Chains A and B, each alone.
Chain A
């Protein structure tokens, strides 16, 4: 048994070592590159995303950084610079709501010329903000809520009624009592119908 255990542990260790070597040998340097696009229109999309997700001063500040990046980008294909400048002016004036449609409009030509996305391209043309609910429940929401509550309560009642007849302490006492009555009881686990069935 000791030899078998030792052999098993050696196999596990070998598998770990092999996996580590395969990973390290095959891997290039630590993660580099990734999602740092150079296209101006993507930088404008980043600005829109900040305004959509963080509609506060921080989001506006981040958006302005991205707009400046877009204005200085080497690749400005499809970006309407005058409209982008108008958007920047709106942001500087604190008008984020007015800036967003201008930003989207400034990259209309760029996104219209996009091919279908492949690999890990986003395929995003229009940056849509997070879906927000109006907070109140509709009529059908109330029906579903009440039905669900009914089901949950019914299930809970059903679960309670099917609970075990005794707690662990009482069960333990029962077992000890049976074993005291039959001291030579086999330790082999029962597989058959000679057990008590409640």
Chain B
């Protein structure tokens, strides 16, 4: 029996034996060569629930970022004297420029939130456990790269906020010594650092993310969708039970497409009602701005303990994520049977939320050059 499930479109021959229409024949030609119907392999039914499509929604956000970024790159000038003014031109003189830039900004927020929710879901359902530890590490790496992408994107505005972010980065690079060489402005002294950050933002980081996304998808295909801990599992608890109904993966993709369309619409609404900001021209030696919200918690640490606390805080956070599958050896996946993991996760989450909230009520103060 075939291991793949044939779904739409149906087989070439029409039920009454008549010649299939031109559309079906065209589809057959394409499918023979591109193997599209191979995507219709069975996946457990729970894979179509919203929580199991968060990773796909994150991927859709990434595609929106790439598409809108390509458009913006046609009008953006990555030079210190011109960057800020080129963005203002995009906002005011390019038709749809403000909308596209808003889409890009809000898609970045959506990708970060989507990745965070996906990470939390994977944690809550124990989907990082054997044999999926490698894929968890791939995901954590992508999350780190996403953080870097948002950082470089902020700097590229080349306004006061972006320049202050760069200033923190440069001093952290000095702190890291040998490890921070790439972020040092003296690494390639004849170039303005904004040009190297632009290269990182549009080529290096998205390129690596793309490779890792493909690896991530292939590993999901290899290990199959993780079981839902609320459903009865078989003796092999790493996989969904044989008794669980399945649906073709193309059904999952259709639902994901629907969510993606919804997301694009929401991004459009946000882009019109809350356009992306451009701050004042950058001036060295002052700190009067706040970073984007996802960096508020390390900056509260900086307010308390100084600049090195940013590196220690972020480093500790990603280290906890990375070692999680190797430290948590409890084979259970249902969260109620994992009290230690849940307690630690709750503590970490509460700490991050508290530090974030504290940033709102703390005025910006000078750390650079202190």
Contact = CB atoms under 8 A, between A and B. Distances in A.
Contact of B285 (A37, A129, A131): A37
B280 interface: yes
Contacts of B79: 116-117, 123
B277 A130 contact: yes
Interface in B150-200: 159-160, 163, 166-167, 170-172, 174-179, 185-186, 189-193
B6 to A, nearest CB: 9
A197 B281 contact: no
A27 B261 CA distance: 48
B332 interface: no
Nearest to A137: B272
Contact of A131 (B259, B262, B278): B278
Given A131-B278, A145-B273, A175 B84 contact: no
B120 interface: no
Nearest to B235: A187
Given A155-B260, A155-B262, A192-B1, A34 B232 contact: no
Contact of A148 (B46, B191, B265, B281): B265
Interface residues of B, number: 102
Most chain A CB neighbours (cut-off 10 Å) among B159, B259, B261: B261
Nearest to B190: A118
Contacts of B251: 162
B236 A193 contact: no
Interface string A140-154: 110011011111111
B222 to A, nearest CB: 11
B224 A189 contact: yes
A150 B228 CA distance: 34
A155 B265 contact: yes
A21 to B, nearest CB: 11
B90 to A, nearest CB: 11
Contacts of A125: 81
A139 interface: no
Contacts of A27: 174-177
Contacts of A171: 45-46, 231, 244-245
A194 B1 contact: yes
Contact of B174 (A24, A28, A172, A187): A28
A174 interface: yes
21 contacts: A8-B326, A27-B177, A33-B174, A43-B285, A49-B160, A120-B192, A122-B283, A130-B277, A140-B95, A145-B273, A151-B262, A151-B264, A152-B264, A155-B262, A162-B48, A162-B255, A168-B231, A171-B231, A187-B235, A193-B4, A197-B42
